Amino acid sequence: MMTIDLSGRRALVTGSSSGLGEAIAMALSSAGAKVAINYRNDKVVADAVVARIVRQGGAAQAFQADISVPEQVTRLFAEVGAAFGGLDILVNNAGIDGGAANCADSDPDQWARVIAVDLQGSYYCARQALHWMLPQKRGVIINITSVHEFIPWSGYSAYTSAKAGLSMFTKTLAQEVAASGVRVLAIAPGAIKTPINASVWEDPQGLVDLDQKIAMGRMGEPDEIGQVAAFLASDLASYITGTSIAVDGGMLIYPDFRHGG
């Protein structure tokens, strides 16, 4: 029987004190990795994730940083390196959507903030991670994009632009480092049931509308993203790099067309 084994691996998951990041951190830990939990503001929540991992027999530690600030990213990786002795897995999960606003009515500062967190922050973290991974000739970087790297979303041009940019960054970085033993991938989640979108799935009418956009007819669970992340980070995925894996219940196969055009 094949099992996902990350024993001895050291992982950092950005934005992992809740939601998808927490689920990814839990999955990596369950597979044997030691996990750095990154948070921006709420240490209490991050410490609770660490405690949960420890209760399940894993090893974890919380680290504060706003990944959109280069100096804080440098400090983050120095602290993780000192605590863990290096890094084998980076999951760039931290992200924001910025709220809805059509381009003509949008706030340029808010637009730039989304790009700074979702795209530039992932670049800052990947750059630091490679300082560890390239010398050891091994490592995996997983960028969390979205189905909106493919699907336009009116009112969220910053978010879709950031996620599409992160997709191409994934491919370009994978091309740069493939010969060095480092793999770079993206996971493109669809509609996943997390606190950030609770206003949709807690509303019966909103949930019905959303489910009609998903071929499988239901939202995904955070664990379903975590499991894919653990697989991609493992040696079972050793020949996969430079691509986005859509975990979306079939949003990208346009279920509205199942009855014809």
Angle (nearest 5°) at CA 160 between 167 and 199:
120
Q: Tokens 């955070």 map to which residue? A: 222
Q: How many CA atoms lie within 13 A of 171 on its CB side?
A: 9
Angle (nearest 5°) at CA 167 between 164 and 170:
155
DSSP notation for 94-119: ---------GGG--HHHHHHHHIIII
Q: Which residues of 210-231 are buried (b: 16+ CB within 10 A; e: fewer)?
A: bbebbbeeebbebebbbbbbbe
Catalytic residue among 123, 124, 156, 159: 159
At 39, the amino acid letter reads Y
Q: Tokens 């390239």 map to which residue? A: 134
- Give catalytic status of residue 254 as yes or no: no
Task: Kindly state the tokens that stand for 105.
Answer: 């009515």
Which residues are the active-site residues? Answer: 159
